[in-house]
């Protein structure tokens, strides 16, 4: 057993594989507080540059899982299946997806997080519903899951506590962008959650955490391998995040769009991806013969949504708050929208108040952007292209400045020729 953290840091700095004992010593010591933040930061940076091999990653992930509780969902009475997205702009898919899959016979125990930077967080979106509670005691979470078939809530402190502490450190030390660290962070929480099956939505494109296809594929393969090794049936879809999903980007705006989808309408891309992920989830849960499309169209998914939201304190009949200030960004010329950069839109929504720079920052339930035209749509000069929503008019200038820059450098582009079509679902990995 290693007893000197410097020995562990030096080993990884020099490109050596850490032993299982060294990994456990470090993770257990950091969680307990016997290893300082600056020492942990040094090892994390060494991992960013040197990586972890398959054995190291397996031990690292297993130790993070073992640092806390592993939930027992056997009392739910249905096959359990969850979905995790690596994050994007306008990615409200979990909101209609969870009640849809529950309406088809599975149970969805989704432990979700909050947004940071230009990507949105599921809990932030749902908190736009008056009265809705993100944090539930374990017995209440299980009761909601048994009674409605779906629950979306925050993870309790007893779930993978090592990851919670490491994630906060990675966020402030520039050590987030590491496939082994990303994969172990996501999968330690999902495996500890106790779900039998898991579908991963790994985003690719301008608004994605990993814009490069090869990197996204490596992350997906790594996470599928970790899930399978821990007895969780796992599949990943690589999906497009080059432009925002749907029309709405922002917390309350995305809840409103979710209600459109659950009412049988909504943007075609949101419906397409919701159904694609639902089919994967139902297949893993042993319900592959069930077609989710009718349950989305005939109101069964909406019924589950209403029961799920109400069970967590939400007022399903209360109107959603709307922004006091709404302005538009006009198309500078006639033509076809060739590009609508997801990150540019996401950053502008963040500047309007929809996102946060630090985990403790508040977010606005009304701030955000509606994309009034998407790739392939024809527009006239002066036609509204984007709609900016905020309660703080002082935020409009920063958002418009960023969008004007994107129009100037081609990240938002109006042209003559229609763009090449991009598939929404790029690849499937199992």
Active-site annotation, residues:
84, 163, 170, 185, 189
Between strands 233-240 and 425-429, the pairing is antiparallel
What is 30-49 written as a DSSP string? Answer: HHHT-S-HHHHHHHHHHHHH
How many other C-beta atoms are found inside a 10 Å radius of the C-beta of residue 260?
A: 17
- Here the tokens at position 429 are 């990995």
- Here the tokens at position 173 are 């030390």
Nearest to 80 by CA among 110, 112, 108: 108
Cα separation, 411 vs 36, in Å, equals: 42
Question: Are 201 and 277 in contact, with CB atoms under 8 Å apart?
Answer: yes
Cα separation, 218 vs 183, in Å, equals: 10
Residues 6+ apart with CB under 8 A from 304: 99, 100, 102, 103, 148, 149, 150
Cα separation, 321 vs 335, in Å, equals: 34
Question: Are 341 and 409 in contact, with CB atoms under 8 Å apart?
Answer: no
Helices (H), 285-418: 292-297, 300-311, 342-349, 396-409
């Amino acid at each position: 057993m290693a007893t000197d953290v410097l020995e562990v840091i030096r080993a990884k700095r020099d490109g050596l594989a850490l032993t299982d004992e060294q990994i456990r010593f470090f993770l257990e010591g950091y969680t307990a507080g016997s290893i300082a933040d600056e020492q942990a930061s040094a090892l994390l940076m060494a991992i960013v540059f040197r990586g972890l091999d398959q054995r190291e990653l397996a031990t690292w992930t297993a130790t993070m899982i073992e640092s806390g509780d592993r939930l027992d969902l056997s009392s739910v009475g249905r096959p359990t299946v969850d979905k995790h997205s690596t994050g994007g702009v306008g990615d409200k898919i979990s909101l209609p997806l969870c009640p849809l899959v529950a309406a088809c016979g599975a149970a969805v125990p989704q432990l979700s997080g909050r947004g940071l930077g230009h990507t949105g967080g599921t809990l932030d979106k749902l908190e736009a519903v008056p009265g809705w509670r993100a944090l539930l005691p374990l017995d209440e979470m299980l009761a909601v899951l048994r009674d409605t078939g779906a629950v979306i809530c925050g993870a309790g402190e007893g779930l993978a506590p090592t990851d919670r502490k490491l994630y906060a450190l990675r966020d402030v030390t520039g050590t987030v962008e590491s496939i082994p660290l990303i994969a172990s962070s996501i999968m330690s929480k999902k495996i500890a959650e106790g779900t039998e099956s898991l579908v991963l939505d790994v985003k690719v494109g301008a608004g994605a955490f990993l814009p490069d296809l090869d990197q996204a594929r490596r992350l997906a393969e790594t996470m599928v391998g970790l899930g399978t090794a821990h007895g969780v049936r796992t599949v990943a879809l690589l999906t497009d995040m080059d432009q925002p999903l749907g029309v709405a980007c922002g917390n309350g705006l995305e809840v409103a769009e979710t209600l459109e989808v659950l009412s049988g309408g909504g943007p075609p891309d949101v419906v397409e991806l919701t159904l694609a992920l639902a089919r994967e989830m139902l297949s893993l849960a042993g319900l592959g013969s069930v077609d989710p499309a009718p349950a989305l169209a005939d109101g069964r998914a909406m019924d589950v949504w209403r029961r799920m939201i109400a069970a967590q304190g939400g007022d399903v009949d209360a109107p959603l708050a709307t922004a006091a200030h709404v302005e538009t960004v006009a198309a500078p010329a006639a033509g076809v929208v060739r590009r609508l950069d997801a990150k540019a839109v996401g950053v502008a929504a963040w500047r309007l108040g929809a996102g946060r720079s630090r985990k403790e920052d508040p977010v606005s339930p009304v701030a955000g952007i509606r994309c009034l035209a998407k790739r392939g749509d024809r527009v006239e000069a002066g036609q509204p292209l984007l709609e900016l929503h905020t309660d703080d008019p002082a935020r409009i200038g920063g958002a418009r400045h960023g969008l004007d820059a994107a129009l100037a450098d081609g990240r938002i582009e109006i042209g003559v020729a229609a763009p090449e079509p991009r598939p929404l679902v790029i690849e499937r990995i199992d």
